[in-house]
Amino acid sequence: GAVVSQHPSWVICKSGTSVKIECRSLDFQATTMFWYRQFPKQSLMLMATSNEGSKATYEQGVEKDKFLINHASLTLSTLTVTSAHPEDSSFYICSANAGGGETQYFGPGTRLLVL
Amino acid sequence: QKEVEQNSGPLSVPEGAIASLNCTYSDRGSQSFFWYRQYSGKSPELIMSIYSNGDKEDGRFTAQLNKASQYVSLLIRDSQPSDSATYLCAVTGGKLIFGQGTELSVKP
């Protein structure tokens, strides 16, 4: 149980375009999902907490107008990187709590490369 | 002071040895503690969670928690080359806070 999927796993795009990443909880409902970003040789950095049916909570320094989060159902959250630039190239990982507990289960991640 | 601190390593141990990974945290109010394993290019995978002082064993893995010392550790017995990965300590304080990870290398 507690399986989280992400799509796509890899995306390459041109600078200035927008990219949407989907995060799904496959066998449980998740009222809260989390979006992380990880640069090479660094740890995970929480970008935002996605709440079903309400606005996401962004961490300090994360531009909410650039990283749009939508959590329209109990099994799906999306992250849209708007007007992507090369510095947005990173490994984006989502996670979710199963059963309301504190344990977070991670999706496989999406590697974004902006040319 | 970082909220969750780990030695970045790399920690190198021979196959079959015990690998010891350490983590300290700054928030005394933290209640839940986790160890994740992350292979290169992959997302983190949960290994252990621990909530109470003492030891918790799961197969070859033992997590140890000492809240008074604000210290949590992970022991890996009979280390295997497949255990070579980065191990992330994570602590909840309203949100999950990760250490920078310790890179473990198990040599055959």
> Do residues B107 and B11 touch, judged by C-beta distance below 8 A?
no
Which residues in chain B have Cβ-Cβ distances shorter than 8 Å to A93? 43-44
pLDDT, tens digit (0-9, with 9 covering 90-100), for B43-97: 999 999 999 999 999 999 999 999 999 999 999 999 999 999 999 999 987 788 9
Two tokens at B13? 């141990």
Distance between B2 CA and the closest CA of chain A, angstroms: 13
In this complex, do B88 and A43 lie within 8 Å of one another by their Cβ atoms? yes
Chain B residue numbers touching A49 (CB-CB < 8 A): 95
Q: What is the pLDDT at residue A82?
A: 96
User: Mean pLDDT of all residues in chain A?
Assistant: 92
Chain B: nearest CA to A14, how far in angstroms? 22
Chain A nearest-CA distance from B79, in A, is: 23
pLDDT band for position B2 (cuts 50, 70, 90): low
Task: Label residue A109 by pLDDT band (50, 70, 90).
Answer: very high
Are B5 and B99 a contacting pair, CB within 8 Å?
A: yes
Asked if B43 and A49 come within 8 Å (Cβ–Cβ), the reply is no
Contacts of A102 (CB under 8 A, 6+ apart): B31, B32, B92, B96
Quote the minimal CA–CA distance from A5 to chain B in Å: 11
Sign (positive or negative) of CA dihedral B85, A38, A79, A103 = positive
Residue A86: pLDDT above 90? yes
8 Å CB contact of B49 and A109 = no
Phi then psi for B96, rounded to 5 degrees?
Answer: -80, 125
Residues of B at the A interface, defined by Cβ within 8 angstroms:
31-32, 34, 36, 42-46, 49, 88, 90, 92, 95-96, 98-101
Residue B1 has pLDDT above 70, yes or no: no
